[in-house]
């Protein structure tokens, strides 16, 4: 746990779920900052409470985005407080504790009270929720809005439409529950093949749809791509509340983009079926890349099996988990980054990292990838989950001329500008303003004002 405040904290802050609080808050004033859009410039008074259920490893993409957005907001002078719980507390938990967690994932009274108290003490304009499953629950939306703060929810996955959050089942993309009743997620035990956890996920989806939580208790949703926005609209979220804001990459570790690349390609991600590492390795060996190496960065459940299967292939180099600085430097030295994802990635953070150092990509032609790749100008697209199609893409990449590769590299660099921190900050402020405007016209806000004025 970490604690950095300039005011005394009440005792309840330290009570629930090993909550982490981080901020730089002055009790006597609020910081003024400015952002510009076109010719307009606006002064903004902003306190933001980030709410997030961290995953078991604490190293996931969502966790990274939460940290980067907090840093971005603080860099622009805003006060940011984090209410973070961790799923790590469930490691080795008893059956009774897991059962309690399953029930409270639908509605957690503890989370409602702790977030309500945080809002009362910190008085944020915005409560920005990233992940509520399994320890927080949608009760945090009610806690925020009943106490004077609007709610913004980033959709990091598809959990609002799918029990496992991936739209993925039996090795392939699945949209069976999009816009339909969610009982299929329980029937197929879609969440880690577990009846209990799948039941909890389906209970959240069903009960909160019935009472209108997702339509009425969130003032603005952030979708990462147009593809994801279309999915959640089909599933029933109000289109007028869904704004597109991609993730962003901070300033690259090094601006020294190598003019002559090494004879290597890179795979970065979890070593698992969903990420298609087996697909990538199979296509790599079939393409017989003379003189080239494939670097693989990451850990995962399929790591040991894949290492054993390709132990005799000297062109396959396992690098394990590495710091971002090391990964970006290797991307800057590689000819291409290759993505094997079978599932509908919501957003490829590693792709924009590669683009930021001028490295083009080889990616599946589905979900958000064509959008991010500008329909192939930044590399090569292949048919998803098709080994022969990926073999063909590898062969094209291995034989591409220097002039064509330069065109792809330049296109990747230009595309990376769309995912810069300044552009992302402007968009985030626009969404916060839209959420505040929506909330100010609601009954909850009027009731909050009348209650506060009555006191």
> Which structural domains are found in the chain, ordered by start?
11-248+423-454 (3.40.50.2000), 264-418 (3.40.50.2000)
Polymer length of the chain: 455
Residue pLDDT, tens place only, 279-309 = 999 999 999 889 999 999 999 999 999 999 9
Q: Report residues of the chain scoring pLDDT below 70.
A: 1-43, 57-60, 251-259, 454-455
Q: How many CA atoms lie within 13 A of 55 on its CB side?
A: 12
Burial 212-237 (b: 16+ CB within 10 A, else e): ebbeebbbbbbbbbebbbebbbebeb
The pLDDT value given to residue 43: 52
Q: How far apart are CA 342 and CA 369, in angstroms?
A: 12
The pLDDT value given to residue 348: 86
Residue 20: DSSP 8-state: B
Phi, psi of 306 (to 5 degrees): -70, -40
The pLDDT value given to residue 455: 56
Is residue 195 within 8 A of residue 201, CB to CB? The reply is: no
Phi, psi of 124 (to 5 degrees): -75, 150
- CB-count exposure of residue 322 (10 Å: 0-12, 13-18, 19+): middle
CB atoms within 10 A of CB 316: 20
Q: How far apart are CA 10 and CA 72, in angstroms?
A: 27
Q: How far apart are CA 225 and CA 368, in angstroms?
A: 6
Burial 375-386 (b: 16+ CB within 10 A, else e): ebebbbbbebbe
Residue pLDDT, tens place only, 179-211 = 999 999 999 999 999 999 999 999 999 999 999
The pLDDT value given to residue 24: 38
The pLDDT value given to residue 274: 95
Which long-range contacts does 8-16 make (Cβ < 8 Å, 24+ apart)? 10/117, 10/121, 12/113, 12/114, 12/117, 13/114, 13/117, 13/118, 13/121, 15/114, 16/85, 16/110, 16/111, 16/113, 16/114
């Amino acid at each position: 746990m970490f604690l950095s405040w300039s005011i005394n904290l009440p005792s309840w802050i330290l009570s629930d779920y090993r909550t982490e609080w981080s901020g730089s808050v002055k009790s006597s004033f609020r910081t003024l900052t400015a952002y510009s859009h076109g010719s307009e410039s606006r002064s903004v008074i902003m306190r933001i409470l980030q709410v997030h259920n961290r995953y078991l490893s604490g190293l996931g993409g969502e966790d990274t985005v939460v940290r980067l957005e907090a840093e971005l907001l603080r860099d622009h002078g805003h006060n940011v407080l984090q209410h973070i719980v961790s799923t790590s507390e469930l490691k080795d938990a008893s059956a009774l504790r897991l059962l309690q967690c399953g029930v409270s994932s639908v509605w957690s009274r503890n989370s409602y009270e702790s977030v309500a108290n945080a809002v009362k003490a910190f008085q944020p304009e915005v409560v920005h929720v990233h992940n509520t499953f399994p320890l927080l629950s949608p009760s945090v939306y009610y806690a925020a809005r009943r106490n004077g703060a609007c709610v913004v929810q980033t959709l990091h996955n598809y959990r609002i439409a799918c029990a496992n959050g991936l739209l993925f089942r039996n090795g392939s993309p699945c949209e069976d529950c999009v816009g339909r009743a969610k009982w299929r997620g329980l029937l197929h035990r879609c969440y880690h093949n577990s009846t209990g956890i799948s039941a909890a996920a389906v209970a959240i989806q069903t009960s909160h749809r019935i009472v209108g939580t997702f339509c009425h208790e969130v003032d603005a949703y952030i979708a990462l791509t147009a593809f994801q926005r279309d999915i959640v609209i089909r599933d029933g979220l109000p289109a007028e509340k869904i704004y597109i804001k991609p993730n962003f990459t901070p300033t690259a570790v090094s601006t020294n983009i190598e003019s002559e690349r090494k004879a290597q390609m890179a795979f970065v991600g979890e070593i698992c079926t969903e990420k298609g590492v087996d697909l990538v390795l199979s296509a790599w060996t079939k393409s017989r890349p003379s003189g080239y190496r494939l670097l693989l960065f990451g850990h995962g459940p399929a790591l040991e099996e894949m290492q054993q299967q390709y132990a005799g292939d000297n062109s396959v180099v396992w690098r394990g988990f590495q710091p971002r600085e090391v990964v970006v430097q290797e991307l800057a030295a590689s000819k291409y980054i290759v993505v094997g994802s079978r599932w509908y990635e919501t957003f490829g953070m590693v792709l924009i990292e590669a683009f930021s150092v001028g490295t083009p990509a080889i990616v599946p032609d589905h979900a958000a990838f064509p959008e991010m790749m500008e329909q192939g100008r930044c590399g090569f697209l292949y048919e998803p989950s098709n080994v022969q199609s990926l073999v063909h893409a590898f062969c094209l990449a291995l034989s591409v001329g220097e002039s064509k590769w330069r065109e792809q590299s330049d296109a990747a660099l230009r595309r990376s500008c769309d995912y810069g921190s300044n552009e992302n900050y402007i968009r985030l402020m626009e969404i916060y303003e839209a959420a505040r405007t929506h909330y100010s016209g609601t009954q909850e806000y009027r009731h909050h004002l009348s209650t506060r004025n009555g006191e």
